[in-house]
Chains A and B, each alone.
Chain A
């Protein structure tokens, strides 16, 4: 099976499991909405008697925000969440790019921003939830007819959670090492370019180094995705699944990379579309607020769909390399 075929099959899997996609979206929403309500409440309490309540309907009010930032900098009542209420995380496609940068730089679980501690805990919680649901997801993709009921889905989640969690734990030190290496690599680039007097001259070194690091991170992710599929498809333990994943990757490196790159392209296209057509900063009525919410959720669903389609595509490759078909 070639990469294109696997990718298409991946998309078909997702389209034929829209319920699953919506379940995952809903789980994500349930997990994140309380924090968003808390942030919304912090903002509301800050502006409820102020004209900022009007100006913030017209767009992002930087004057008010500079005060809000100051008021909340030492406010122990808001557990750091207000510190993340920043235009970087609110305007246009900036939130997505900020997250992408965090993933690339290892800043996703950074302690630098106090607000990020709570957010990181949420992200970790989401990761655990995802690991739990992954068993059901993969089982669903493995056999479309078998795990349709909620009971079967839950059963598969529980059945594979142990080895999948062990896989996640196995991956943690590896990612840590990759980020450590990435930092060192950038230090080396810094040392090489100590005398460089043009930003573009530094970029000539930093960009390939950064792409290399991103490539390593992605490749590691793809290998572990194979391993997750092997846990479910081949009923392997964490270590042997990882071995099988490495073997599959080595046997099908071109396919693996092409699938990965196709999904990177699709993600880039999604970001570009959001940049072009995402909602503006104005929300003059409640209808607009609802429309913004719906558009955001469509983006989240599309992003989830992309992630699932890659897992499904890699599962297809793994099965085909074992001579299995469904």
Chain B
């Protein structure tokens, strides 16, 4: 009887628990039957019902993950099941994985060695053991292999593939391959552990799939390269063992983590459960479908998304969680979720506005954002997590005091939200061609900012505090503004290194780390803006939208982009653009046109002149002798190696002006004009079409030098600073 009563009680409790979980979330009961930590050995369940159909991408790298974060030790223990499908034409007998966090395992990794020449470093250097980061594969098992299906629903394919004629029989049951895993370090860094290779007992044929289970642990590093932790604020990017990208005959694309490159992964579905203490607010890639609390104070958040190529998450007890809905006619609605630092509460709407502007303008210009949610993470102070993109989630970046109009946090928010379109959806190989994402996005960022917010004002900051080099107290100068053409497209940052950068056609990982961003961000943004000036926004927009539409989820190459550009340009009646791309992409030439001299003198001269009878007479022509005229001479030089067709404008004293075209090929060109009025100035490329011109000041030349008024004005202001500085010394003496 006693045992029966106990059994009855247990049954009642069980029913109560079931009822409670049903009340908590019907979806939870439906989808989250293994929401608690899945015991070792049990499969990680998922279901295709979570993911919308039709598939937008090949979905050939699908992850089911359960990870537990221990905030005491800052460790993650996790288990994942990866189902990888070979969508290439050739078989492969291995699976390489990125273990990005091993870049911070010791100072012998390729990332750490390279960081000596880059601005990306471990801040202040790790002090304690727990400050380093690492990933350790605990167990790797082959769960199953699946031969190519005889028939399957049509899915987008990156490339056409042939099916295997006869797939070998799959091995029965899980096969432990842990001992087979080897690392693949570059020769320069034999201790590097950022790529692990798993040999498979049988090759995966084209169309075949393999499901691997990986049990791993990881130490969350102190904040480095926009990953890690500070206090209880965690930002966990590239935290999973991630399979590389198989490129058929070219083999696997899975390079060691390089300090100056970003990322490249295949598309798939992600079904991720994250267990951690209940006090944490969690944000992640995708949609949260359930939250399942457990009795030990933990909670499991389950996030799912399809047609993405990575999963990132963040957790902090401090986040303010705010939501707004993006709804614009003609574009799909998007739920915008903002995880905001409490001290930035007053900037919430600015984050939403910048994100909405991006979703709207990118959506109209290039194509709609296809996911139902986007998560904006306002990183905590001192974490340096700011300004990074991940699928459907990104970090912005702000400060406690941020005056309206100063460009922050709007600029970085637009930029990272914009990455959702290029990095997130088009997803080219950022290891090798970072510019195809960063350049297109930098150009677009400047365009969105100008359209949505105008020109940003100059801000000076004073009195920095530990944890940040930026001053705390800002001063905004409303009348001093940055233009899109120069600062938006980052000419000011490209100019100092323009002469020492590589050709963008070289793989990004070969670029000098200290100047790699100039090639990936600044230069392409500048040549895209130049292209806009050259062929017009309508044509450029068609190039970009065609490229976006045609190559979404397709890992396009630069050649794909240039082919689209050529195609659209031809359709729109523009000349062949290869001369332009050969220079700005295929070479490292720089551009600089200069008006060397501009002179004007009365055309009536002195010397030997023909008489009506054909004889010569030495004399000086008087102004009355003929209509007053002036001979103006302008000499323009090409100082850079790059050539570009330019216009030369001659301006005359009477207010008139005329323009002459020059193909810009020769090293110099003389322009001579006879006019009624004397020349006052000449200007090469007066409309600033060529934004890659490194020196615009020398584009103009006045016949008579300008007065000293402007120089005197600013000299006077500089004097005030110097006088005040010298008086500051009286504080000592």
Does A pair with B?
yes
Mark A residues whose CB is within 8 Å of B.
28-29, 31-33, 35-37, 39-41, 43-44, 46-54, 56-57, 59-60, 62-64, 66-68, 70-71, 73, 84-85, 87-104, 108, 119, 122-124, 126-128, 130-131, 134, 168, 171-172, 175, 186-187, 189-190, 193-203, 206-207, 210, 217, 221, 280-283, 285-286, 288-289, 292-293, 296, 299-300, 303-304, 307
The answer to whether B720 and A199 have CB atoms under 8 Å apart is no
Extra contacts, 12 of them, besides A40-B715, A60-B477 (Cβ < 8 A), are A37-B715, A90-B718, A122-B726, A126-B726, A186-B466, A196-B231, A196-B381, A198-B343, A198-B380, A199-B472, A210-B465, A288-B713
The answer to whether B698 and A84 have CB atoms under 8 Å apart is no
Which chain B residues border A73 with CB–CB below 8 Å?
496
Binds A, one of B438-446, B481-489, B534-542: B481-489
Within 8 A of A (CB), among B270-292: none
A95 to B725, CA, bound (A): 9
Q: Is B570 an interface residue (CB 8 A)?
A: no
- Bits for B458-498, please: 1 = Cβ < 8 Å to A, else 0: 10101101111001100101011111011100011001100
A33 to B716, CA, bound (A): 9
A144 to B96, CA, bound (A): 88
Chain B contact residue count (CB 8 A cutoff)? 79
Please give the distance in Å from B647's CB to the nearest CB on chain A.
16
Q: Is B138 an interface residue (CB 8 A)?
A: no
A95 to B719, CA, bound (A): 10
Please give the distance in Å from A24's CB to the nearest CB on chain B.
10
A56 to B233, CA, bound (A): 46
Which 4 pairs between the two chains have the least Cβ-Cβ distance?
A40-B715, A190-B466, A53-B706, A197-B380
Please give the distance in Å from B313's CB to the nearest CB on chain A.
17
The answer to whether A94 and B460 have CB atoms under 8 Å apart is yes
The answer to whether A85 and B460 have CB atoms under 8 Å apart is no
Q: Is B577 an interface residue (CB 8 A)?
A: no
- Bits for B703-733, please: 1 = Cβ < 8 Å to A, else 0: 0011111111111111111111111111111
| Cβ contact of A28, chosen from B316, B496, B681, B723, cutoff 8 A | B723
What are 6 A-B interface contacts by the 8 Å CB criterion?
A49-B701, A60-B458, A99-B725, A103-B731, A196-B382, A221-B731
Which chain A residues border B697 with CB–CB below 8 Å?
46-47, 50, 52, 64, 67-68, 71
Nearest chain-B residue to A279 (Cβ)? B717
Which chain A residues border B399 with CB–CB below 8 Å?
199
Q: Is B94 an interface residue (CB 8 A)?
A: no
The answer to whether B730 and A130 have CB atoms under 8 Å apart is yes
- Bits for B314-352, please: 1 = Cβ < 8 Å to A, else 0: 001010000000000000000000000111000000000
Which chain B residues border A104 with CB–CB below 8 Å?
463
The answer to whether A134 and B721 have CB atoms under 8 Å apart is no
- Per DSSP, chain A at the interface is helix
Which chain B residues border A40 with CB–CB below 8 Å?
708, 711-712, 714-716, 718
Which chain A residues border B707 with CB–CB below 8 Å?
53
The answer to whether A289 and B713 have CB atoms under 8 Å apart is yes
A32 to B212, CA, bound (A): 74
A108 to B724, CA, bound (A): 12
The answer to whether A197 and B460 have CB atoms under 8 Å apart is no
Which chain A residues border B380 with CB–CB below 8 Å?
197-198
Please give the distance in Å from B457's CB to the nearest CB on chain A.
10
| Cβ contact of A87, chosen from B230, B477, B726, cutoff 8 A | B477
Which chain B residues border A99 with CB–CB below 8 Å?
721, 724-725, 728
Which chain A residues border B479 with CB–CB below 8 Å?
59, 280-282
A292 to B712, CA, bound (A): 10
| Cβ contact of A202, chosen from B382, B496, B695, B700, cutoff 8 A | B382
Q: Is B580 an interface residue (CB 8 A)?
A: no
Given contacts A48-B702, A199-B400, A296-B717, contact A102 B728 (CB under 8 A): yes
Please give the distance in Å from B598's CB to the nearest CB on chain A.
8
- Bits for B369-385, please: 1 = Cβ < 8 Å to A, else 0: 00000000000111100
| Cβ contact of B706, chosen from A31, A47, A119, A195, cutoff 8 A | A47
Nearest chain-A residue to B491 (Cβ)? A66
Q: Is B582 an interface residue (CB 8 A)?
A: no
The answer to whether A91 and B732 have CB atoms under 8 Å apart is no
Given contacts A50-B700, A127-B730, A199-B381, contact A44 B462 (CB under 8 A): no
Which chain A residues border B495 with CB–CB below 8 Å?
66-67, 70
Nearest chain-A residue to B498 (Cβ)? A70
Which chain A residues border B695 with CB–CB below 8 Å?
67, 71
The answer to whether B483 and A63 have CB atoms under 8 Å apart is yes
The answer to whether A67 and B729 have CB atoms under 8 Å apart is no
Q: Is B696 an interface residue (CB 8 A)?
A: yes
The answer to whether A296 and B719 have CB atoms under 8 Å apart is yes
A99 to B702, CA, bound (A): 37
The answer to whether B720 and A127 have CB atoms under 8 Å apart is no
A124 to B699, CA, bound (A): 41
A137 to B233, CA, bound (A): 58
A51 to B706, CA, bound (A): 9
Q: Is B576 an interface residue (CB 8 A)?
A: no
Nearest chain-A residue to B471 (Cβ)? A101
A44 to B712, CA, bound (A): 8
Which chain A residues border B318 with CB–CB below 8 Å?
197-198
The answer to whether A57 and B381 have CB atoms under 8 Å apart is no
The answer to whether B710 and A91 have CB atoms under 8 Å apart is no
Which chain A residues border B683 with CB–CB below 8 Å?
51
A89 to B699, CA, bound (A): 28
Within 8 A of A (CB), among B678-706: 681, 683, 695-702, 705-706
Which chain B residues border A292 with CB–CB below 8 Å?
713, 716-717
A16 to B463, CA, bound (A): 38
The answer to whether B726 and A31 have CB atoms under 8 Å apart is yes
Given contacts A63-B696, A91-B460, A221-B731, contact A56 B713 (CB under 8 A): yes
Q: Is B232 an interface residue (CB 8 A)?
A: yes
| Cβ contact of B722, chosen from A32, A87, A88, A189, cutoff 8 A | A32
The answer to whether A66 and B725 have CB atoms under 8 Å apart is no
Which chain B residues border A172 with CB–CB below 8 Å?
732
Nearest chain-B residue to A295 (Cβ)? B720
The answer to whether B729 and A127 have CB atoms under 8 Å apart is yes
Which chain B residues border A168 with CB–CB below 8 Å?
732-733
| Cβ contact of A197, chosen from B233, B471, B701, cutoff 8 A | B233
Which chain A residues border B492 with CB–CB below 8 Å?
66, 70
Which chain A residues border B710 with CB–CB below 8 Å?
43-44, 47, 52-54, 56-57, 283
Which chain A residues border B595 with CB–CB below 8 Å?
49
Which chain A residues border B724 with CB–CB below 8 Å?
95-96, 99, 299-300, 303
Which chain A residues border B485 with CB–CB below 8 Å?
63
| Cβ contact of B709, chosen from A89, A91, A289, cutoff 8 A | A289
Nearest chain-B residue to A81 (Cβ)? B718
Given contacts A62-B458, A103-B728, A123-B725, contact A206 B466 (CB under 8 A): yes
Instruction: Name which of B343, B711, B726 has the most chain A CB atoms within 10 A of its CB.
Output: B726
A84 to B729, CA, bound (A): 18
The answer to whether B727 and A193 have CB atoms under 8 Å apart is no
Please give the distance in Å from A296's CB to the nearest CB on chain B.
4
Given contacts A32-B726, A198-B343, contact A43 B715 (CB under 8 A): yes
Which chain B residues border A203 with CB–CB below 8 Å?
400, 465, 472
| Cβ contact of A119, chosen from B341, B472, B711, B722, cutoff 8 A | B722
Nearest chain-B residue to A42 (Cβ)? B711
| Cβ contact of B715, chosen from A39, A128, A130, A175, cutoff 8 A | A39
A296 to B595, CA, bound (A): 37
Instruction: Name which of B472, B716, B721 has the most chain A CB atoms within 10 A of its CB.
Output: B721
A96 to B595, CA, bound (A): 39
A100 to B732, CA, bound (A): 13
Which chain B residues border A281 with CB–CB below 8 Å?
477, 479-480
Given contacts A33-B719, A198-B381, contact A97 B475 (CB under 8 A): yes
Which chain B residues border A93 with CB–CB below 8 Å?
475
A37 to B487, CA, bound (A): 30
The answer to whether A32 and B712 have CB atoms under 8 Å apart is no
Please give the distance in Å from B43's CB to the nearest CB on chain A.
38
Which chain B residues border A131 with CB–CB below 8 Å?
733
Please give the distance in Å from A229's CB to the nearest CB on chain B.
14
